[in-house]
Structure 1
Amino acid sequence: MLIQRLTKTDIDKMRKLNEVFAIAFEDTETHLQKLPKDTYLQSLLEKSHFIALTAMLEEEVVGGLVAYILEKYEQERSEIYIYDLAVAERFRRQGIARSLILNLKEMAREMGAYVIFVQADRQDEPAILLYRSLGIQEEPFHFDILP
């Protein structure tokens, strides 16, 4: 398995990762109905605060994560937010998600980030077990505030 950070030339892999997310999250409406243009994805992949990691088996994207680097105002430091993480169903329970997070941890150390954080739905027990094994659980509230 190869884990790689996508660059501006990896638009096809980013699209494949989006398909993995759509199926894993059972949310094709969000992930597949209004696909961004190649130029949008290229621009996003060029941004230093955007991280897209893929797990590849041979030429197949079998999982990945998308994270954002958040620069803090109160101190000269940053934190990383894992926005999405998924592994295709037939490749689960093989340590791929853990490998993705461990790879991100190494990147975070190199960048000087002080923490990586992620949210999990209460009913997503596999994700909760994985995140508990890697970090400290907190009980925040989450609110969507629509413009």
Structure 2
Amino acid sequence: MEIVKVDEGDFDRLAKLLNWRKTGTYDEDFNWSAFLSNELSDMIASNIIWIYAARVNNRFVGYVSAAKIPKPDNRKCTIYIDELWVAKKHRNKGIAKKLLEKVIEEAKRIKAWKVRLVVNYDNAFARSLYHSLGFNEKPAVFCEKSF
């Protein structure tokens, strides 16, 4: 298993992975061109978002996406982990931990102020994983508006 930073050359594998997450089935022939955001290339090139993927036998089996949120003062930025997913048959193998460690490593390298994420309260497994990596839970209310 190898953790790689996704770039344009990986879009086919990334789209197949995202479709796998959505449908529950890996489709080798999935047509990815209309699936990914047109802005994804620009976002990845500008380093606004990072996507790291776990690759096993040349197939992506998990990913983490994170965004850099600039700060208007001397705090350089906060890294927000938006999504973390590993295919069921590849879970409990340390892949999620390796993906998160890669984001944390990059956050330290660029001297980010913090790394943040949101997790469902009842997801004890994920919360335990985050605690093992040094994340602390904070009392907060999460608000969201859908469009």
Q: Same fold by TM (over 0.5)? A: yes
Q: Could you tell me how far apart the structure 1 residues matched to 2:60 and 2:107 are? A: 23
Does 1:127 find its partner at 2:96? no
Distance 2:74 2:40 in 1: 31
Paired residue secondary structure (1:61): strand
Q: Which secondary structure does the structure 1 equivalent of 2:16 belong to?
A: helix
Moved >4 Å (runs of 4+): none
Structure 1 length normalisation: TM-score?
0.83
**Cα RMSD after superposing both structures:** 2.1
Identity %: 22
Alignment correspondent of 2:6: 6
TM-superposed CA distance for 1:58, in Å, is: 1.5
Partner of residue 29, structure 1: none
List runs of 5+ in structure 1 lacking aligned partners. 25-31
Summarize the alignment of residues 1-147 of structure 1 with structure 2, pairs less than 5 Å apart: 1-22=1-22, 35-36=35-36, 39-134=38-133, 135-146=135-146
Structure 2 length-normalised TM: 0.83
What 5-or-longer segments of structure 2 have no aligned partner? 25-31
Between structures 1 and 2, the one with greater helix share: 1
1:137 Cα deviation (Å)?
1.1
- Report if aligned partners of 1:9, 1:42 keep a CA contact under 8 Å in 2: no
Q: Number of residue pairs matched?
A: 138
